[in-house]
Amino acid sequence: MGNLFWKGKQESSKYIEQLKTKNPVFLQLIESISPPMSEKNNGDWLNLLIWGDAKFVLHSLLDDFKGKIKLIYIDPPFGTGGEFNYKIQIGDGDASKNSSKWIRKAAYNDSWEHGLDSYLSFIYERLLLMKDLLSPEGSIYIHLDWHVGHYIKVMMDEIYGENNFRNEIIWSYPAASAQTKRFFVRSFDVILFYTKSDVYTFNDDKNIYMEYSDRVKNALSKDSNGTFYFRGGSHDGKKLSQKVYIENEGVFPRDVWMDIPYIRANTLEYQGFSTQKPERLLRRIILASTRENDLIADFFCGSGTTIAVAEKLNRRWIGCDMSKNAIHIMKKRIMDVKNSNDLQDWKKKYNILPNEFKILSLESNSENYWFPVEFISKKVRSHLSDQENRTPECKIILNKNKNAVTLKIIDYIIPYNHCISPEIEENITTFSDWIDYWSIDFDYSVQCKFRTMWASYRTPKRRELKLISDPYIYEQPGPHELMIKVVDICGIETNKKLTINIS
């Protein structure tokens, strides 16, 4: 078998061997999303959303999760050389009717300093670490496209073994428009499917089946119950005329998937994230390769499609992304999972609150920026100095009635809002337009970190923000600390502490 070589491969392999001998970076708890948000019980397990570079996160998980993850799906950067973004809406209104109320923000950059060589080292190091976490009966799916799919196929044969290659899945979607007429329009992604060994989970679940093609359906008849049948066949040279029924669910999936459309802005699952993948795609993969309660991980989680589907299919999950904004989008997506599509009956809402989950971060991560530069008007960017590194301010009032407490947010002030791009400023009509999310821990303690006990937030489909919290009733008299977290539309987080005495 031939192997793939590139500049930096040997160094990467040595580096990972050495990394494994070192102490990993500590994963610190930032926040837990606790009941009453949650109504299911996952035993002692809490799902994990981790902010950090996949390489260090994978290393940090090795101690506790070696050989324990049943399914890894990743949709990493494809080595495209491009920059990807997500859309932010401003205010309460329906932005689909007013295009000026959308702004775009960079989600991640997919360009590589030393081109393909550095991309290959990047993905190689992470794929080596993922193998250690995968269970002996586990499966790994890697979502790519024409840019690097063929290189990663050879790399995976080397790391996971060519005998453990199961499929090269073609996910084909209609291309929106032909951007060039100098070659054929590219309209499919590739998903490489490997297992760790020859013994692995693969379920013949009717929910993963593909619909019959129109050609097959046209050749079949339907009885009064809607069940397909054909007449025919022959026995002993005689033609048979009885009905031969075939299963209603469709056909066991082939490796070319043409039945899953790309995400559209008018769908419930749309998160405004440019590389977001459809829930139907992840549903097929998860139902095929895991059983209920199995552990699933996605280390390039983006808008959180994998973990949202895992949550709804009663699987345990670990999600990771190096972008703080992606973590914020995913947090809201899981908190709001009740309002998303039911995976069994797409026309219905899922209608179940999520399991409790924790947000962790690599200890080395810090919020060492004040304002994402892309929000600042080019004219004033160069005048901003480090001394101006101040945080925004939010004003909150506390209403206390006996031992019940509600909070009202009455203002949110961004220092230097004169610096903001005109496209944003023009669309801000009231202070609350700045706010994307706010949440309260009514009984904050440094040891337990922030526990989200109440939250109000905007989603692409639900724009209104509550400015007054629900009442919280204190059982214990005495002093209590409240922590309030506000995240604005630029992704900037402000935390404010209040102390209250309950008599």
Binding piece for ligand SAM, criterion CB under 6 A, among 167-175, 288-296, 319-327, 420-428: 319-327
Tell me whether residue 322 or residue 482 sits nearer to ligand SAM (CB atom). 322
Whether the bond between 253 and the residue before it is cis, its omega within 30 degrees of 0, is no
Interface with ligand SAM, residue 269, by CB under 6 A: no
Interface with ligand SAM, residue 459, by CB under 6 A: no
Interface with ligand SAM, residue 437, by CB under 6 A: no
Applying CB under 6 A, among 91, 302, 319, 354 the residue interacting with ligand SAM is 302
Least Å distance, CB 61 to ligand SAM, is 13
Interface with ligand SAM, residue 53, by CB under 6 A: yes
The rounded distance, in Å, linking the Cα atoms of 487 and 484 is: 10
The residue type of 438 is: W
Interface with ligand SAM, residue 335, by CB under 6 A: no
Applying CB under 6 A, among 54, 140, 190, 484 the residue interacting with ligand SAM is 54
DSSP annotation of 23 reads P
Long-range contacts of 471-478 (CB under 8 A, 24+ apart): 471/401, 471/404, 471/405, 471/406, 472/404, 472/405, 472/406, 472/440, 472/442, 473/403, 473/404, 474/403, 474/404, 474/405, 474/442, 474/443, 474/502, 475/403, 476/502, 477/403, 477/502, 477/503, 478/502
The rounded distance, in Å, linking the Cα atoms of 431 and 414 is: 9
Q: Which among 87, 105, 101, 106 has a CA at the least distance from the CA of 424? A: 101
Enumerate residues 6+ apart whose C-beta is below 8 A from 235.
none
Binding piece for ligand SAM, criterion CB under 6 A, among 239-247, 318-326, 343-351, 376-384: 318-326
Binding mask 66-105 for ligand SAM (x = CB under 6 A): ---------xxx----------------------------
Binding piece for ligand SAM, criterion CB under 6 A, among 97-105, 268-276, 421-429, 475-483: 268-276
Residue 491 three-state SS: coil
Q: Which among 441, 408, 316 has a CA at the least distance from the CA of 30? A: 441
Least Å distance, CB 97 to ligand SAM, is 25
Binding piece for ligand SAM, criterion CB under 6 A, among 294-302, 332-340, 464-472, 484-492: 294-302
Least Å distance, CB 287 to ligand SAM, is 17
CA 95 to chain centre: 23
Interface with ligand SAM, residue 275, by CB under 6 A: yes
Applying CB under 6 A, among 257, 273, 438, 442 the residue interacting with ligand SAM is 273
The rounded distance, in Å, linking the Cα atoms of 375 and 63 is: 40
Binding piece for ligand SAM, criterion CB under 6 A, among 240-248, 274-282, 286-294, 440-448: 274-282
Applying CB under 6 A, among 135, 164, 289, 303 the residue interacting with ligand SAM is 303
What residue is closest to ligand SAM based on CB?
302
Interface with ligand SAM, residue 289, by CB under 6 A: no
Interface with ligand SAM, residue 125, by CB under 6 A: no
Least Å distance, CB 107 to ligand SAM, is 6
- Residue 87: in which H helix or E strand, if any? strand 83-89
Interface with ligand SAM, residue 322, by CB under 6 A: yes
3-state SS of 404-430 is EEEEEEEEEECCCHHHECHHHHCCCCC
Which structure tokens are listed for 50? 């981790």
Number of residues counted as binding ligand SAM (CB under 6 A): 21
The rounded distance, in Å, linking the Cα atoms of 123 and 9 is: 11
Residues that bind ligand SAM (CB under 6 A): 53-54, 75-77, 107-108, 273, 275-277, 299-300, 302-303, 305, 320-323, 326
